[in-house]
Amino acid sequence: MLAVLAVLLISVAAAIGFFASTLVLGPKFENPAPGYLSYNGNPSKIYLVSSTVLESNANQTYIAADGQVIGKGSPLFTMAVTLRNDYSPDDPAPPVTSQVAPVDGAAYVCLSAQLINNQGVINGSVISTGDFYAPSIQGTALVLAAGQTVSASIYYWTDQADVNGFRINLNFLGDSVPLS
pLDDT for the residue numbered 32:
84
What are 28-61's pLDDT values in tens digits? 567 788 999 999 999 999 999 999 888 888 889 9
What are 123-152's pLDDT values in tens digits? 888 887 788 777 667 778 899 999 999 999
What's the one-letter identity of residue 18? F
Determine whether domain 30-174 maps to CATH 2.60.40.3230.
Answer: yes
d(CA 157, CA 122): 10
d(CA 180, CA 40): 17
- Residue 143 CA: distances (Å) to CA of 73, 75, 92, 107, 112: 30, 28, 13, 6, 15
What residue segments make up the domains of the chain, in order of their start? 30-174
- Helices of type H across 99-155: none
Residue 153 in contact with residue 128, Cβ under 8 Å? Answer: yes
Which residues fall within 8 angstroms of residue 49, CB to CB, at 6 or more apart? 34, 81, 82, 83, 84, 149
Question: How are the residues of the chain apportioned to helix, strand and coil, as percentages rounded to the nearest 5?
Answer: 10, 45, 45
